[in-house]
Amino acid sequence: MLKLGITGGIGSGKTTVCQFFEILGVPVYYSDQRAKDLMHSDEVLMAQIRQAFGRDIYSEDGILNRKALAAVVFADPGKLAALNGMVHPAVFRDFDRWAAARKEVPYVLKEAAILFESGSYRDCDYTILVKAPRELRIRRVVGRDGITEEEVVRRMDAQMSDEDKEARADFVVLNDEAQLLIPQVLLLHERLLQESRKR
């Protein structure tokens, strides 16, 4: 079984691309969602977060106070790095368990916004970048999230650039509303099925 990482900047449409792969029967692991789930279910991770940010960061029912945590980590880059240093290994462990339970499929996808930044790409056989023009990405996110253009640009500028990601990626899917998306996914799917047969 091949393990593929798939990433893309905010507004690139990587979730849409992942959904096409899911229609083709490819299991997709959504790292960001799983990270949120693990903060409420992974005992080791929860203990680390309590130790670093105080016991009251969780309610007595074990519910994480996300607002309080966000206020701390986004005001202090050191605290954000510390949190990431706890969450990323928990996600890596969880992905390994998840992938091991799906050994019968030719390949799986690990969707991660910070695939390269987190080092997660090292566990993947190949990586896919979903990219789109900057103006289109801004328009999509403003329409989707109801935030200002300035806020979108600030988020985009905080992410690794598409150029840097493309230099590291094995495959690129262009989601620019000019190229047809489904044929690109189908072509890549066939290529990955061939690659998996060689293993």
Render pLDDT for 150-183 as a digit per residue (tens, 0 to 9).
888 888 887 889 999 999 999 999 999 999 999 9
CA dihedral for 74, 78, 57, 158, sign (positive or negative): positive
Give per-residue pLDDT as tens, 117-150. Answer: 888 899 899 999 999 999 999 999 999 988 889 8
> Per-domain residue ranges for the chain?
1-27+107-199, 33-101
Give per-residue pLDDT as tens, 62-116. Answer: 899 988 998 888 888 899 889 999 999 999 999 999 999 999 999 999 999 889 9
pLDDT of residue 97: 95
The CATH architecture one would assign to domain 1-27+107-199 is 3-Layer(aba) Sandwich (3.40)
pLDDT of residue 74: 80
Provide the b/e sequence for 43-70 (b: ≥16 CB within 10 Å): eebbebbeebbeeebbeeeeebeeeebe
Q: Cα separations (Å) of 125 from 1, 80, 189?
A: 10, 28, 15
Residue 60: which pLDDT band, with cuts at 50, 70 and 90?
confident
Residue 47: which pLDDT band, with cuts at 50, 70 and 90?
very high
- Residue 120: which of 100, 94, 101, 82 has the closest Cα? 94
pTM for the model stands at 0.89
